[in-house]
C-alpha cells in the first residue's frame, strides 16, 4: 500500500503555530530545525544488542494497517515406487496446506516538550534535548525485539524462540560440565536434524547459542589434553563453514521451564518470517495543554513459522 509522502517540516510549523506560545519567524525556524534534527538522530539510532531483526527474515510487503496477516503452512507427503509398465495403481502424492493468521498489534509511546522548554530554546538558541525522544525510540525498539523474539501470550503473537510446532531436542548434558564431544554433538545433531526432518529440502544456515553457551564453546579445547588452541566452536566452524554461529541473550531462558535453548534453522523467509508492517514512526506533533506531544508507534505481528520442520530447538545446554 502506497502512502503519501509526509512533509515533516510543515507538520512541525503547523504545530508551533497552533500552540499556546508565540514565536517570531526566526524562532519558529530555529525550533523547526531543532525538532527535525532530533527526528533525524532518533531514526538513525542503532541498537546492536537487539538482534531479532538480524536473525529472522522480515516481511516487507505487508499492509501497515492490517488487523491480521494470513499465511500457509505446507507439508508434502507420499512416496514413489517401482511399478510395471502398464500399472494403474500409481502412488499418489499430496500436499497438505493449512492456513493460519497472525494478529497485528500496535506498540506505542510518546515524548513531550513543555512550552517553557521550547520558548527558552527559541529565545536563547540553546538546542533542545533529544533525551526523551531517544528514550521513546528505545522503548519501541525493545518492544519490537521482544515480540519478534518471545512473542506475546496476551495477544497470541508468536516469537521465534517459542514456536510450538518446532521439535525440541535435549542436550547431552549441561554445557557447564559437558565434554567437548558432547557440545559438538549437540550442535551438529541439531543441524543434521534440519536436513533429516525436511528430507534434504532445507539445510541449517544458522546456529544460535545462548551467550553463556557460546562463550563455553569458544574457550573449551577440542583436544582432551588441551594441547591444541582449537576450541569446540572453531572445530564446528571449520567442519561446517556453511553454518553461521551467533550468540543471543534471548536464548538464556528461552527453553522449557526457563532453561537454555539452542536454535538451528534455515534462515529463509519460506521457513520463518517476522511481521513488522510498520517500523518506528512518529506522528505529527500535537499540543496537549502546555506540552507538545509527539506520539510514536510501530505495528508488529510476531513471526510466522511456514515450514517449522526446518527449525530445531535444543534445550538444556
Q: How confident is the model at residue 138 (pLDDT cuts 50, 70, 90)?
A: very high
Q: How confident is the model at residue 218 (pLDDT cuts 50, 70, 90)?
A: very high
What confidence score (pLDDT) does residue 61 get?
Answer: 80
Task: Kindly state the average pLDDT of the residues 254-268.
Answer: 97
CA distance 54 to 180: 29
pLDDT of residue 76 exceeding 60, the answer is: no
What confidence score (pLDDT) does residue 245 get?
Answer: 98
pLDDT of residue 72 exceeding 70, the answer is: no
pLDDT of residue 3 exceeding 80, the answer is: no
Mean of pLDDT over the chain: 91
Which element (helix H / strand E) includes 73? strand 68-77
For 194, the 3-state DSSP assignment is helix
User: Per-residue pLDDT tens for 147-187?
Assistant: 999 999 999 999 999 999 999 999 999 999 999 999 999 99
What confidence score (pLDDT) does residue 48 get?
Answer: 86
What confidence score (pLDDT) does residue 277 get?
Answer: 94
Task: Kindly state the average pLDDT of the residues 18-29.
Answer: 94
For 148, the 3-state DSSP assignment is helix
CA distance 20 to 156: 43
User: Per-residue pLDDT tens for 112-126?
Assistant: 999 999 999 999 999
CA distance 247 to 214: 6
What confidence score (pLDDT) does residue 225 get?
Answer: 72
Task: Kindly state the average pLDDT of the residues 261-278.
Answer: 96
Q: How confident is the model at residue 238 (pLDDT cuts 50, 70, 90)?
A: very high
What confidence score (pLDDT) does residue 228 get?
Answer: 74
Q: How confident is the model at residue 73 (pLDDT cuts 50, 70, 90)?
A: low
- Delimiting residues of CATH 3.30.2320.10 domain(s) in the chain: 166-271+308-315
Q: Are strands 244-247 and 206-209 parallel, antiparallel or unpaired?
A: parallel
- How many whole angstroms from its chain centre is CA 206? 15
What confidence score (pLDDT) does residue 307 get?
Answer: 92
Q: How many CB atoms lie within 10 A of CB 218?
A: 14
What confidence score (pLDDT) does residue 54 get?
Answer: 96
The answer to whether the beta carbons of residues 262 and 233 sit under 8 Å apart is: no
- In CATH, the number for domain 166-271+308-315 is 3.30.2320.10
**Residue 43 or 94, more confident:** 43
What confidence score (pLDDT) does residue 83 get?
Answer: 64
Q: How confident is the model at residue 25 (pLDDT cuts 50, 70, 90)?
A: very high
- How many whole angstroms from its chain centre is CA 195? 24
Q: 8-65+102-158+273-305: what fold?
A: Major capsid protein gp5 fold (3.30.2400)
Q: What global pTM score does this model have?
A: 0.89
Which of the residue ranges 31-35, 42-46, 256-260, 281-285 would you say has the lowest mean pLDDT? 42-46
pLDDT of residue 94 exceeding 70, the answer is: no
pLDDT of residue 303 exceeding 90, the answer is: yes
What confidence score (pLDDT) does residue 89 get?
Answer: 72
> Taking the alpha carbons of 28, 34, 37, 38 in that order, is the dihedral positive or negative?
negative
In the block, which residue shows the cell 505495528?
A: 299
CA distance 232 to 126: 55
What confidence score (pLDDT) does residue 229 get?
Answer: 82
C-alpha pair distances (Å), 245 with each of 14, 59, 79, 119, 135: 50, 23, 35, 52, 31
**Listed residue (279, 268, 267, 274) closest to 59, CA to CA:** 274
CA distance 273 to 140: 20
- The torsion angles phi and psi of 314, rounded to 5 degrees, stand at -135, 120
What confidence score (pLDDT) does residue 70 get?
Answer: 81
Q: How confident is the model at residue 18 (pLDDT cuts 50, 70, 90)?
A: very high
- The torsion angles phi and psi of 275, rounded to 5 degrees, stand at -115, 110
pLDDT of residue 146 exceeding 70, the answer is: yes
- Delimiting residues of CATH 3.30.2400.30 domain(s) in the chain: 8-65+102-158+273-305
Amino acid at each position: 500500500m502506497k502512502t503519501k509522502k509526509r512533509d515533516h517540516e510543515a507538520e512541525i510549523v503547523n504545530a508551533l503555530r497552533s500552540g499556546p506560545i508565540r514565536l517570531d519567524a526566526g524562532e519558529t525556524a530555529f525550533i523547526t530545525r531543532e525538532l527535525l534534527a532530533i527526528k533525524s538522530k532518533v531514526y538513525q539510532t542503532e541498537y546492536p544488542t537487539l538482534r531479532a531483526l538480524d536473525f529472522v527474515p522480515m516481511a516487507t510487503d505487508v499492509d501497515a494497517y492490517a488487523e491480521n496477516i494470513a499465511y500457509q503452512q505446507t507439508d508434502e507427503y507420499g512416496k514413489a515406487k517401482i511399478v510395471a509398465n502398464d500399472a494403474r495403481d500409481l502412488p499418489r502424492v499430496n500436499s497438505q496446506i493449512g492456513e493460519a493468521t497472525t494478529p497485528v498489534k500496535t506498540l506505542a509511546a510518546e515524548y513531550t516538550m513543555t512550552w517553557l522548554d521550547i520558548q527558552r530554546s527559541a529565545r536563547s538558541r540553546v538546542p533542545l534535548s533529544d533525551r526523551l525522544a531517544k528514550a521513546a525510540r528505545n522503548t519501541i525498539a525493545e518492544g519490537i525485539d521482544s515480540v519478534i523474539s518471545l512473542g506475546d501470550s496476551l495477544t497470541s503473537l508468536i516469537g521465534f524462540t517459542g514456536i510450538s510446532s518446532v521439535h525440541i531436542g535435549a542436550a547431552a548434558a549441561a554445557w557447564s560440565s559437558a565434554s567437548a564431544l558432547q557440545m559438538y554433538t549437540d550442535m551438529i545433531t541439531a543441524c543434521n536434524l534440519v536436513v533429516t526432518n525436511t528430507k534434504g529440502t532445507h539445510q541449517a544456515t544458522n546456529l544460535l547459542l545462548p551467550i553463556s553457551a557460546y562463550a563455553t564453546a569458544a574457550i573449551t579445547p577440542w583436544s582432551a589434553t588441551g594441547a591444541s588452541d582449537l576450541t569446540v566452536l572453531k572445530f564446528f566452524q571449520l567442519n561446517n563453514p556453511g553454518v553461521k554461529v551467533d550468540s543471543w541473550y534471548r536464548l538464556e531462558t528461552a527453553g522449557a521451564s526457563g532453561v537454555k535453548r539452542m536454535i538451528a534453522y534455515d534462515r529463509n523467509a519460506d521457513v520463518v518470517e517476522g511481521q513488522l508492517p510498520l517500523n518506528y514512526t512518529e506522528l505529527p506533533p500535537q499540543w496537549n495543554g502546555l506540552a507538545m506531544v509527539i506520539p510514536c508507534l510501530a505495528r508488529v505481528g510476531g513471526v510466522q513459522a511456514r515450514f517449522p520442520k526446518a527449525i530445531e530447538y535444543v534445550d538444556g545446554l
